[in-house]
Amino acid sequence: MDRTLVRRAGFVGCLLAFTVACGTLGFVYIEGYSPFDAFYMTLITVSTVGYFEVHTLSRAGRIFNTFVILFGVGAVLFGIGALTQTIIELELRDTFGKRRRRRLIEGLKDHYIVCGFGRVGRHASFELQRTGVPFVVMDRSEARAERATAAGMNVLVADSTRDESLRQAGIMRAKGLVSALATDADNLFVILSAKTLNPALTVVTRASEEEAEEKLRRAGADTVFAPFSMAGHRLAQALVRPHVSTFLDFTTTTMGLDVSIEQVEIQRGSEVVTRSLRDLHLSRDYGVIVMAIRKVGGEMLFNPPAESTISAGDHLIAMGALENLKRLEHLVTGRGLR
């Protein structure tokens, strides 16, 4: 239930309870009614049912009852109006909100789709949101969808195992998909559907069982993560190689610092093409460290030497401050050196 509706309903309930309590006390002290008779008299007055007076009222009692009628009926009408207004506002907001989200999703291109907003999907969504790329969250749970909406994400309440739901999320225009559903069977189903609809889509997923990893790859997953085996590996590293584990944490999380690892693609027409790392002085002028180069042919050069030349289509894997990484991205997009 919406918090606004709950809050207003609580306010209206408190207002009516206050009105009934004041009326009851007034009839007890002014007319000498018993508490039950006073409560009953107040209730039939506020509800305007038109019953006769419990006992004949004195002049002072009638004056008091006049105020009870005016205030009580006003409170009832105000409560009905406030709740009706809230319900209508929520319905309109939900209707127009869905239309707005649908238009936003229809306008997305080269975006990412996150299927499932559970523990894994939630962290994947927050990382995508941090990097500033366009993406859509899909989940059939209204509660989880509301959490994603509250975080400012584009959300589609739908079953991601259905082809129609994937089409609504713009699967044909999407660049990549994260399948983070609860079971390997559901993830397998999503991958098969997604790859059928968009064979060029990059798909990453999680595997709960080790034997499911190969099946997910055969279904079309480009990358499969096994959280339990990865966690076990990291736990062992934390014991025998704690400094290595700390460095990995540093490179994969922000740790409160404005440092990240990004990949940037060398575009055709960029002035860095055919130049060597030594000529570019990326560490000195841009404050980034080139950790690896993935060549256009698929070869990965770790800790590339200064003589390594850069070609169009290569990817630089670099670490540095976010602002410096943005400057590096600007450099390799073909806009020239600055």
Helix residue ranges per DSSP H, the chain? 3-31, 35-46, 59-106, 119-131, 142-150, 163-168, 184-197, 212-219, 227-240, 242-252, 277-280, 282-286, 322-330
| Same domain (yes/no): 155, 203 | yes
CATH number of the CATH domain containing 32: 1.10.287.70
3-state secondary structure of 72: helix
Question: pLDDT exceeding 70 applies to what percent of the chain?
Answer: 89
What's residue 338's pLDDT? 36
Q: Does residue 132 lie in a domain region?
A: yes
Whether the pLDDT of residue 254 is over 70: the answer is no
Q: Which two tokens stand for residue 146?
A: 């509301």
What's residue 257's pLDDT? 55
Q: Does residue 252 lie in a domain region?
A: no
What's residue 174's pLDDT? 92
Q: What is the arithmetic mean of pLDDT over 251-275?
A: 74
- Dihedral angle over CA of 63, 65, 69, 71, nearest 10: 80
Reported as a pLDDT band with limits 50, 70 and 90, residue 255 is: very low
Reported as a pLDDT band with limits 50, 70 and 90, residue 251 is: low
What's residue 95's pLDDT? 60
Its domain, for residue 118, covers 108-231
Q: What is the arithmetic mean of pLDDT over 175-181?
A: 93
Whether the pLDDT of residue 273 is over 80: the answer is yes
Q: Which two tokens stand for residue 47?
A: 């509800």
Q: How far is CA 36 from CA 23, 25, 241, in A?
A: 12, 11, 76
| Same domain (yes/no): 45, 23 | yes
Instruction: Pick 114 or 209 by higher pLDDT.
Output: 114
Q: What are phi and psi of 78, to 5 degrees?
A: -65, -40
* Range with the poorest average pLDDT among 36-50, 64-78, 324-338: 324-338
Q: What is the arithmetic mean of pLDDT over 232-239?
A: 75
Whether the pLDDT of residue 23 is over 60: the answer is yes
Q: What are phi and psi of 202, to 5 degrees?
A: -90, 125
Cβ atoms 287, 302 nearer than 8 A: no
- Point out the domain boundary residue: 38, 71, 103: 103
CATH number of the CATH domain containing 312: 3.30.70.1450
Q: Does residue 302 lie in a domain region?
A: yes
Distance CA 314, CA 264 (A): 8
Whether the pLDDT of residue 28 is over 80: the answer is yes
Distance CA 268, CA 332 (A): 9
Q: Does residue 197 lie in a domain region?
A: yes
- Please give the tally of structural domains in the chain: 3
Distance CA 189, CA 184 (A): 9
What's residue 78's pLDDT? 81
DSSP strand pairing (315-321 vs 154-157)? unpaired
In terms of pTM, does the model score above 0.75?
no
Reported as a pLDDT band with limits 50, 70 and 90, residue 2 is: low
Distance CA 334, CA 314 (A): 13
User: Tens digit of pLDDT for each residue in 78-117?
Assistant: 888 887 877 777 666 666 666 667 777 788 888 999 999 9
| Same domain (yes/no): 98, 191 | no
What's residue 281's pLDDT? 85
Distance CA 260, CA 262 (A): 6
Reported as a pLDDT band with limits 50, 70 and 90, residue 1 is: low
| Same domain (yes/no): 112, 99 | no
Instruction: Pick 51 or 122 by higher pLDDT.
Output: 122
Residue 300 zone, left/alpha/beta (φ > 0; ψ -120 to 50; rest):
beta
Mean pLDDT of the chain: 83
Backbone CA torsion sign across 259, 261, 263, 266: positive
Q: What are phi and psi of 271, to 5 degrees?
A: -75, -10
Cβ atoms 152, 171 nearer than 8 A: no
What's residue 92's pLDDT? 63
Q: Does residue 291 lie in a domain region?
A: yes
Q: What is the arithmetic mean of pLDDT over 243-249?
A: 70
| Same domain (yes/no): 216, 132 | yes
Q: What is the arithmetic mean of pLDDT over 168-192?
A: 92
Read off the amino acid at residue 52: F
Q: What is the arithmetic mean of pLDDT over 39-64?
A: 80
- Point out the domain boundary residue: 61, 88, 103: 103
What's residue 205's pLDDT? 93
Instruction: Pick 96 or 158 by higher pLDDT.
Output: 158
| Same domain (yes/no): 323, 225 | no
